[in-house]
A and B are shown apart, each in its own frame.
Chain A
Amino acid sequence: MMEITEGSHAVAEAVRLCRPQVVSAYPITPQTHIVEALADFVANGKLDAEYITVENELSALSACVGASAAGSRTYSATTSQGLMLMAEVVFNAAGMRMPIVMSIANRAMGAPLSIWNDMQDSIALRDAGWLHFYAEDNQEATDLHFLAYKVAEDPSVQLPALVCFDGFILSHTYEPVDVLSQEQVDTYLPKYAPAERLDANDPISFGMYATPEYYLEFRYEMNEAQKKAKAAIAKYGKEFGTLFGRDYSSLIETYRLDDAETAIIAMGSVCGTVKDAIDEMREAGKKVGLLRIRVFRPFPIEEIATALATVKRIAILDKNVSLGSRGGATAIEVRDAMYGSTIPVKGYILGLGGRDIRKKDIKEIVALCEKGEGDQFIGLRKEVL
């Protein structure tokens, strides 16, 4: 059913439909509306879950680890400083193979303190072992939660998943969203039934320590699970498409890329602006297209290499920066995907801490890329430097 609703409420509605048995979260801007809505659902009998109002984010995710180990579907949400406070548990939850799903309303990292959007928070934890989904709009922010649970809980994967969407830009924006019915979601996402759990009738030990004789193999198996997640996303993304008309089987989405000379690569809500800019540039005779990364982990290495094989140049937008490196994380990883190709790859860092990104910025980036210039910040206010 189509509803015009705030991003956070649409996400909360999706989470409710996933029937988590334990929700554990701590308030932080701009994620708070989600956990408020979930608390309201529980208080009014619309969600049959235990809702733990923890004392901080570290405990929020720790409680999810315990609840997940005991055999329940669990959910949390956070952003930025909160995600960093729980960082130790983020690694731990993945290592313990707990299929927790957590929403991230992406926000900049302090200092300086900023409540506004960029993707530095989740990107900083890209090596922790979680699946990373990035939504372009609120429909996707909603749908990716169903897919995330489905993939995370698949026995071939068994990894936690982040569903990321831009703080404020999506979380606080009203858009029309097709909200599924409970019957529809139940058909797609059955009850969580883990193969192993904490159970007095079948006692096993979780979270043992590993000596050098075993540790390497644990990490190898996590990496293999990331690779297997690609097949699971293809399978369950396609199933979602068949049932509800929106296909998420691919880790990437392309827009007017087929005959493009300049390929823009980006993630998240900025892709709407990029698509509009591309339409205008196309009208002006420039062959520009977009490759949107929807899944950052597992990273679509082969998909990107194949999709970009015939372009003349690549311009990558990053709302994050790996300080001290050549640029942002997406640019670094795309360069790796394109290794051996002679196509020039340039990175552009923009939009940090909530700075607006306009169509003219995208056009400027394409012009720079055509001149072979890049690996730089865009939109700097030189007068304050």
Chain B
Amino acid sequence: MAETCKTCELFDAGHRACGGCGAALAARLVTKAAGTNTIVVSSTGCMEVFSTPYPETAWKVPWIHSLFENAAAVASGIEASLKKQGRKEKIVIMAGDGATFDIGMISISGAFERGHDFTYICYDNEAYMNTGIQRSGATPYDASTTTSPAGSQSFGNKRPKKDMPAILAAHGAPYVATASIAYPADLMQKVEKAINTPGPCYVQVHAPCCTGWGFEGEQTIAIAKLAIETGLWPNFEMVDGRITKVKKVVRKPVTEYLKTQKRFRHLFKPKQQDTEIAAIQAIADRNAEKYSLDIKLPPKKE
């Protein structure tokens, strides 16, 4: 039985993450929700590096890292092994967006199709942060990264985020959710639900990166909140492919989110790029329509 360990810390202090790291907070909340009867599988990435410089480890649950692209396959093997031994530990994968959206896609697709019982957490900081902020399939439209730099001929990343939750729902995943470190109770509840749902489950956690996105570490939570409040990060859950829960908001204009981060600075300086901002607003509007994000305010009384 996975027992939530609300008081114990299973991702310990002393790791090497930046102050204000969204991913480190995600690791802490996920392990708290998962509890002690958990085996964590990490892909190569920032979290793996900042948490396990030999001979030190921040993980107080059994933990394994093999390679960048194979966490879902490693987890498949662990699950088969536990099954054969009659053991009941739960398996939680912790992988970044590069490992999930890009290089690990085949391994994830195979493991989800085979239906192994594990929970796949993608901590999504929207670029390859460990190697120095290169774009991934999770990088948002117009974000400037070191491989999608804004310049005289470019507004940054040319494509919107890949829709991983939809892709995994299409694999028949019984539980798919998005979550945010800005809402810890919601995040932990989703992780618990995923862990207690048999079969391959997916939770994509928005985890702002102060270094990669360009903001001060104390702003991490505020920025994660703004992503939800502007409609750029829809926070929802899907059971058997159907949306069952959505975080509704009184939406703010996307500029309130974009202005907080250096990766979008080129949209405002030296002059405001209204066409580009309108395109990003349109992404938020489409999200609002698709997931019914908007709180319908009662009509004003005359």
Contact = CB atoms under 8 A, between A and B. Distances in A.
B80 A214 contact: no
Interface residues of B, number: 45
Interface string B43-87: 000001100111101011111111101101111111111111100
A66 B81 contact: yes
Interface in B80-122: 80-85, 89, 106-107, 109-111, 113-114
Contacts of B80: 22, 24, 50, 52, 63, 67, 72
Contacts of B67: 62, 88-89, 92
A365 B179 CA distance: 69
A380 interface: no
A203 interface: yes
A207 B81 CA distance: 18
B37 interface: yes
A59 B109 CA distance: 11
Given A65-B74, A200-B89, A209-B48, A72 B84 contact: yes
A203 B57 CA distance: 11
B73 A58 contact: yes
A59 B57 contact: no
A281 to B, nearest CB: 50
Contact of B65 (A48, A53, A56, A206): A206
A55 B77 contact: no
A55 B74 contact: no
A113 interface: no
B220 interface: no
A22 to B, nearest CB: 5
A70 B70 contact: no
B41 interface: yes
Could you say which interface size class chain A belongs to?
35 or more
**Which of the listed residues B39, B77, B84 has the most CB atoms from chain A within 10 Å of its own CB?**
B77
A36 B199 CA distance: 26
A311 B74 CA distance: 50
Contacts of A209: 48-49, 52-54, 65
Contacts of A284: none
Contact of B107 (A59, A96, A202, A206): A59
A385 to B, nearest CB: 40
Interface string A168-203: 000000000000000000000000000000111011
A208 B77 contact: no
Nearest to B60: A203
Given A59-B70, A63-B76, A203-B63, A214 B54 contact: yes
Given A54-B73, A63-B76, A207 B66 contact: yes
B77 A67 contact: yes
Nearest to A86: B70
A54 B84 contact: no
A92 B54 CA distance: 16
A71 B89 CA distance: 13
Nearest to A91: B67
B123 to A, nearest CB: 18
Given A55-B109, A67-B81, A198-B78, A62 B66 contact: yes
A65 B81 contact: no
A70 B39 contact: yes
Interface string B226-264: 000000000000000000000000000000000000000
A72 B52 contact: no
A60 B55 CA distance: 29
Interface string A265-282: 000000000000000000
A96 B76 contact: no
A211 interface: yes
Contacts of A96: 66
Contacts of A325: none
A210 interface: yes
Given A21-B81, A54-B114, A70-B85, 14 more contacts: A50-B84, A58-B106, A58-B107, A66-B74, A67-B77, A67-B80, A70-B78, A198-B78, A204-B62, A205-B59, A205-B63, A206-B63, A207-B64, A209-B53
Task: Please provide the 6 A-B residue pairs with the shortest distance between their CB atoms, ordered closest to farther.
Answer: A66-B77, A55-B110, A63-B77, A62-B73, A50-B80, A67-B77
7 contacts: A22-B80, A49-B84, A54-B110, A66-B76, A89-B66, A205-B62, A209-B54
Interface of A: 21-22, 24, 48-50, 52-56, 58-60, 62-72, 74, 88-89, 92, 96, 198-200, 202-211, 214
Interface of B: 36-39, 41, 48-49, 52-55, 57, 59-67, 69-70, 72-85, 89, 106-107, 109-111, 113-114
